[in-house]
Structures are given as structure tokens and as C-alpha cells.
Amino acid sequence: MRIIPAIDIIDGKCVRLSKGDYNTKKIYNEHPLEIAKQYEAHGIEYLHLVDLDGAKASHIVNHKVLETIATKTSLKIDFGGGLKTDEDLRIAFESGAGQITGGSIAVKQPDVFKNWLSKFGANKIILGADANNEKIAISGWLEESDEDLIPFIKNYQKEGVQYVICTDIAKDGMLEGPSFDLYEKMLNELPNIKLIASGGISTFDELPKLAELGCEGTIIGKAIYENKISLKQLEDFILNKS
């Protein structure tokens, strides 16, 4: 199971929100590159970089942060937040993203998202399936859609989707543990999906459980910043797996 720390960006700074609420913003570091270099120094290879300004503006904003981290570290970065057009994707990939995540667009403009899958390849496009009560949530979680989580993903699997990041909004940033039951259900009902668990990770002990369930990766955010999980623990986890 891949360990994928998250860096969320507002105004070029590392922040975390709770349940996606911008009013709960907490700044953890003014310099995202410093954080990224710490991850790299502990053997971490992957990074989930979220452009929260972009999510609000509905177009890419913090691509310079992406470019800086991509050129000054060897981290493999998946980038998301407000990507809506082919031009946004061009900028993201040219700035160093290895993969991009599309969430709201997959609900609101499915034809655009399907076109990305065929144009850029399914290995570069991650479906962001954020859920609230097993309903897909969109627009930085400000809206709940009528789409049921599992059928929604199934439909996109038919279009070639391989990677899915699923965040249970009720858990995100709350440090109360991830949605084990939801992920187990998804992995049972969605064969061959590469499921990346996100939201609520709060202790190191949860990581082996997610790996046992069959999650392909897990995104860890606030638990690292709040020292609930140490980078040394993550380093050991990665070394033991290799």
C-alpha cells in the first residue's frame, strides 16, 4: 500500500481544513517545499497536492507550488483542485504532475472527464469520489449530488478508470479514524479498483488495516501535521513493505 501524504495549498501555504470547510483553515507551514522535502527525506515517494484556491476558483491556481516541488524533489505528485479544462491539465502536467484528480467535473461534465481518460490515459487520471452518506459530494463538498457512490464508480470503471480516491467527508480532518466499512464494501463491489483511502487517518495502527483490506494507497494529512503519526513510523512502514 502506497503512503501518500497530502499537502493542501491556500495562498501558496500548507493548510488543513476540517470537513472541507474553508472557515476551519489552519496554516501549518508557509513553505510547502520544506514539508515535501521532509517527506522525501523519510523515504516517501508520493505526494497528494491539492490546490484549494483552484477548487474555489474552478481553474488551476497554485501551479507554481506544484512546479517548485516537482523540480526540487523526486516525489511523484498527483494534483487536484479545480481542474476543469484541457488547458488546466496541460498546465498541471507541464508543471510536473504525474497524475491529476478530477472530482466535481466527473459529475457535472462527464464527457470532459471521459475525454481526459482517452486523451491522457487512465494511468494519469484519478477519479475523486468524495462521499457523504454514500452519495457523491462535489464543489469542495459544498454540494451533495444525487449520484450513489458505488454505481457512480462502476460506470467510470467501464470507461477505463483504474484509480479512485475516496474521501468520506464526515471523517476528513477529524482524526477519528477512516471509513473501514465503506472501503471494505467498495473493494468487495468494485473488483480491480485501485482504491486510495483518504480522510480520518488518525493513528499508525490504521495503516496495516487499510492495507489488509486491499487499499492501493492511503492519503494522510492532518495526522502528520498534528504528530499523531510520525514520519519515522511511515518510513519504517515503507521499508517493511519493500
Q: Which of 8, 51, 78, 88 is catalytic?
A: 8
Rounded CA-CA distance 57/68 in Å is 21
Residue 8 is a catalytic residue? yes
Listed in sequence order, the residues at least 6 apart from 86 whose beta carbon sits closer than 8 Å to its beta carbon are 115, 116, 119
Spell out the residues 6+ positions from residue 18 whose beta carbon is closer than 8 angstroms to its own: 24, 172, 173, 174
For 220, the grid coordinates are 494522510
* DSSP string covering 5-59: EEEEEETTEEEEEETTEEEEEEEEES-HHHHHHHHHHTT--EEEEEEHHHHHHTS
Active-site position among 51, 53, 130, 172: 130
Active-site residue flag, 172 = no
Indicate which residues carry an active-site annotation.
Answer: 8, 130
